[in-house]
């Protein structure tokens, strides 16, 4: 057996965050498998140092109480993300809207809640239309009477996008709530106070116009990213994912630049997207999803976005990971055909564009499914070859444990240096 096709044991160490890994062995996959992107699972005890992973916010939050709250605080979970990210090449993290980020707004105490991008486009549109930008109205966490006196959701959120869930929780009295619900009330109020502080930055910039609002908002998002993960970890190991091209269901969840239930100027939305993404690219790589490459209009949409983000001639080291698909099923889930049949067409169009091809990586979704059964290993190896020949990363429906089961029969771990 050639040493180059064996797993290498690098280090063993303990993570100290409550509820996270008790101890983790860090392995290195053979170079043949370095393009594989497995899924991150909590408490598996092993990580592959030279691979990228797909993270999952719910999984990483850990255990829940009987009432559905997360046991660990936002700070504990943030530490867990930081530690795990450093044990691999990089982690893709969904961080693009109020409820799609690492902090849950009310099921745990938030640590570094991010201002949603759609709030920035909403604020910029309000100012462009000549309307005043009204700040949020919040109070001390324990002041039940003040929160109860909020007579409408508009009074709480001012000019900013509303969350019916957070409003209904915030106005409930803590002293009459059961313990689990009281925790949610406190968490919701804490999150609203954080959002009020962040959105106040936009209010204070309103007199300078919508362009300044967008730049200020982009800076606040960048600061939240670096606060949550740490500046160096963000730069070297964290790849935030943004849904720039959301489905109707995702739009209703606040993803993308268009806040649900209100009109947003399309030009403002495009400008804000470019400003936010470009600012985040200064901190490290980013990922953008998702584009059906079988559709000419979606290929054009992706290229137009990329030309504004990573144009030829701009000497920056950071990369855009573009998540691409083929036609997807209509069930609202990420299932259907992957992008491989259309990769060549899209790459030819990229060559003819003003996109710097050195700064883009295409990641095909849905993930490659590795079935069980006697042909499992041969199917896996064939897919490894296929993606390698296409010079593409290979997202798979396996965690470290499942991947090791496929690698170890022919690639047993060896001590580093052997």
Interval 109-149: pLDDT, tens: 999 999 999 999 999 999 999 999 999 999 999 999 999 99
In this predicted structure, what is the pLDDT of residue 1? 32
pLDDT number for residue 413: 45
Cα–Cα dist 401/279, whole Å = 36
Answer whether 305's CB lies under 8 Å from 287's CB. Answer: no
The answer to whether the CB of 138 falls within 8 A of the CB of 192 is yes
Average pLDDT over residues 324-350: 90
State residue 12's pLDDT score.
43
Residue 121: predicted pLDDT: 96
Whether pLDDT at 334 is above 80: no
What confidence score (pLDDT) does residue 418 get? 39
In this prediction, residue 159 carries a pLDDT of: 96
Q: How far apart are CA 394 and CA 409, in angstroms?
A: 21
> What's residue 15's pLDDT?
32
334 phi, psi to nearest 5 deg:
-85, 75
Query: Would you say residue 398 has pLDDT above 70?
Result: yes
Residue 20 has pLDDT above 60, yes or no: no
Question: What DSSP state is assigned to residue 268?
Answer: H
Least confident range of 42-46, 76-80, 124-128, 248-252: 42-46
Q: What is the pLDDT of residue 35?
A: 97
Percentage of the chain exceeding pLDDT 90: 81
Q: Over the chain, what is the mean pLDDT?
A: 91
Q: What is the pTM of this model?
A: 0.91
Mean predicted confidence (pLDDT) in 233-246: 96
Q: What pLDDT shows up at residue 7?
A: 62
Q: What is the mean pLDDT of residues 341-349?
A: 98
Nearest to 161 by CA among 261, 244, 19: 261
Residue 202, preceding bond cis, omega within 30 degrees? Answer: no
The 10 Å CB-count burial string (b at 16+, else e) for 174-196 is beebeeeeebbbbbbbbbbbbbb
Q: Is the per-residue pLDDT at 301 higher than 80? A: yes
Query: Which has more pLDDT, 10 or 72?
Result: 72
Per-residue pLDDT averaged across 369-379, rounded?
A: 91
Euclidean distance between CA atoms 393 and 20, whole angstroms: 28
CA distance 42 to 59: 7
User: Order of strands across the sheet with 8-13?
Assistant: 46-48, 24-28, 8-13, 414-415
pLDDT of 409 over the 80 cut: no
Question: Residue 352: pLDDT above 50?
Answer: yes
17: part of which helix (H) or strand (E)? none
Q: What are phi and psi of 290, to 5 degrees?
A: -140, 145
The predicted-structure confidence for 23-56, as pLDDT tens digits, reads as follows 578 899 999 999 999 999 987 778 999 999 999 9
Residue 18 has pLDDT above 60, yes or no: no
379 CB burial (10 A radius; 0-12, 13-18, 19+) = middle
pLDDT at residue 394 in the model: 98
Closest C-alpha to 119, from 171, 178, 161, 166 = 161
Whether the predicted pLDDT of 205 surpasses 50: yes
pLDDT confidence of residue 415: 36
Closest CA to 304 of 255, 246, 353, 245: 353
Gap between the Cα atoms of 281 and 316, Å rounded: 9
> Can you give the pLDDT at residue 331?
67
């Amino acid at each position: 057996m050639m040493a180059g096709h064996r797993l290498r044991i690098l280090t063993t160490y303990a993570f100290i965050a409550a509820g996270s890994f008790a101890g983790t062995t860090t392995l290195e996959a053979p170079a043949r498998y370095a393009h594989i992107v497995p899924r991150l699972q909590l408490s598996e005890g092993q990580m592959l140092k030279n691979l990228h992973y797909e993270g999952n916010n719910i999984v990483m939050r850990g255990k829940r109480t009987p009432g559905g709250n997360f046991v660990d605080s936002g700070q504990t979970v943030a530490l867990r993300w930081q530690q795990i990210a450093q044990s691999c090449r990089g982690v893709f993290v969904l961080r693009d809207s109020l409820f799609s980020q690492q902090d849950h707004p009310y099921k745990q105490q938030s640590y570094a809640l991010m201002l949603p991008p759609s709030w920035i486009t909403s604020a910029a549109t309000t100012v462009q239309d000549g309307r005043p930008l009204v700040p949020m109205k919040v109070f001390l966490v324990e002041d039940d009477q003040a929160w109860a006196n909020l007579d409408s959701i508009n009074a709480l959120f001012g000019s900013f996008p509303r969350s019916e869930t957070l409003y209904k929780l915030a106005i409930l009295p803590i002293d009459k709530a059961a313990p689990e619900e009281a925790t949610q009330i406190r968490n919701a109020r804490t999150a609203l106070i954080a959002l009020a502080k962040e959105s106040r930055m936009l209010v204070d910039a309103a007199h300078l116009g919508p362009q300044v609002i967008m730049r200020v908002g982009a800076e606040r998002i960048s600061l939240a990213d670096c606060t949550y993960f740490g500046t160096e970890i963000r730069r070297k190991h964290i790849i935030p994912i943004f849904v720039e091209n959301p489905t109707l269901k995702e739009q209703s969840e606040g993803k993308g630049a268009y806040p649900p239930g209100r009109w947003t100027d399309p030009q403002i939305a495009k400008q804000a997207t470019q400003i936010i993404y470009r600012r985040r690219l200064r901190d490290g790589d980013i990922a953008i999803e998702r584009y059906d490459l079988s559709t000419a209009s979606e290929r054009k949409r992706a290229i137009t976005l990329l030309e504004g983000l990573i144009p030829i001639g701009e000497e920056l080291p950071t990369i855009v990971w573009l998540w691409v698909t083929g036609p997807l099923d209509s069930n609202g889930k990420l299932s259907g055909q992957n992008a491989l049949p259309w990769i060549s067409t899209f790459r030819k169009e990229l060559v003819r564009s003003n996109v710097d091809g050195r700064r883009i990586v295409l990641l095909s979704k849905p993930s490659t499914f590795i079935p069980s059964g006697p042909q499992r290993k041969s199917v896996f190896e064939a897919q490894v070859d296929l993606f390698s020949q296409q010079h593409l990363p290979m997202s798979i429906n396996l965690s470290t444990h499942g991947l090791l089961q496929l690698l170890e029969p022919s690639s047993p771990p060896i001590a580093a240096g052997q």
